[in-house]
Amino acid sequence: MSLLVAALFAVLYALIVIVGSLLGVGSFLVYGLLAIGLMAVQFLIGPKIVEWTMHVRYVSAKEEPDLYRMVTDLAKRAKLPLPRVGISPSPIPNAFAFGRWQSDGRVCVTKGIRDLLSPDELRAVLGHELSHIRHRDVAIITTISVIPTIAWYIAYGSLFSRDNRSGSAAVGMAAFGIYFLTNLLVLYASRIREYYADRGSVRLGEKPHHLASALYKLTYGSARLPKAELKHAEGVKAFFASNPSRAAREFSELRSLDADLSGTIDPAELSALRDRRLRLTGSDRLLELFSTHPNMVKRIATLSGYAT
C-alpha cells in the first residue's frame, strides 16, 4: 500500500511537470483546486448520499439489542468510538461502513444479510466493516482518488478547450493516459483495503471460516436477486463487504469450495483451500482489474492462510 501511494504521487509529480512546462503552472493549479474542491464536497456530503441511497435508519440498543451488542463489543476490541448502527431495508445481503473519520463512523446491515447469516457469520462481517473504520479506508481512498480526478479535468480541459497553444493536445492525451492508469491504481488500492479489512476481522477475534462462509453466502444471496435490485445500489457498492454486481459469476466459481453442499464453508473446507492451486481465467483477472473488490475465490483463499 505504501509503494502504491508513492507511485500515485510520483505520477502526480510527473503530471505537474508536464502541464507546468507546456501550459504553465497556473493551468495545473486551476484544475487541481477544482478537483480537490469537488472531492472535499463529496467527502463531506458522502455519508448523507449513502444514507439516502440505502434508506438507512439508525437504531438504538433498545430496538436492536443483539446487533448493537455485536457492534459495541467489536468497537471496544478495535479501540474505536462506538459507531452509529443502522439498518437498510434493501434485500441485497450485505453490510457497509462509512463516515468521514473514526469518530463519525457508521455501520449498517441490510435486511437481506440478517435473513441469511448466522450470528457468528454476521459478527465476522461486522468485524470486517469496523476494520474499515479503524484503518480510515474512506479517507485514504478519497484522498488518493483526487489524483485521477485532477488528470481527468486536465485531459478534458486540454482536449475540448478552444486553446490552440502548442502542446495542448499532447497534454490532453498524456493526462487521459494518466487518468486511466491512476484510476486502475486506486481500484487496486481499494482491493488491498478489502484484504486488510478481512485480516482486521480475524485480528479482532473472529474465526476465518465464519467470514469465509459469510462471503460465500453473500455471493449466493446476491446472485439469486433480480438485476433491478442490484442496480439500485450500484453507486454505493464500493462500500459493501462484497461486490453484488459480480455475484452470479463468482458463485459458480465458489460452489466447489462447499464440498459437503451444506451451504457454508467449515474449518476443514477452508483449510483444504490452503493447499489448492487457484485457476482463474483471463476474464476473471480482467474483471478484477476494474473492480473495487478482489476476486472472491482469491479472497477466501487468503482467509485460509489465517486458519489454524
Point out the residues that are catalytic.
129
Residue 95's DSSP bridge partners are: 109
Q: Which helix (H) or strand (E) holds 43?
A: helix 25-54
What is the CB neighbour count within 10 angstroms for residue 36? 14
User: Can you tell me whether residue 44 is helix, strand or coil?
Assistant: helix
CA geometry: angle 222, 207, 187, nearest 5 deg: 50
Q: How far is Cα 298 from Cα 265, in angstroms, rounded to an integer?
A: 15
CA-nearest of 39, 35, 19, 38 to 27 is 19
Contact present, 178 and 266 (Cβ < 8 Å): no
Q: How far is Cα 1 from Cα 192, in angstroms, rounded to an integer?
A: 7
- Grid coordinates representing 35 are 478537483
CA-nearest of 82, 192, 88 to 133 is 82
Q: Three-state SS across 140-175? A: HHHHHCHHHHHHHHHHHHHHHCCCCCCCHHHHHHHH
Give the C-alpha distances (Å, rounded to integers) separating 135 from 98, 104, 173, 197, 220.
12, 13, 35, 8, 28
CA-based torsion, 244, 250, 252, 258: positive or negative: negative
What is the CB neighbour count within 10 angstroms for residue 268? 11
Q: Are strands 95-98 and 84-88 parallel, antiparallel or unpaired?
A: unpaired
Dmax of the chain from CA atoms?
A: 68
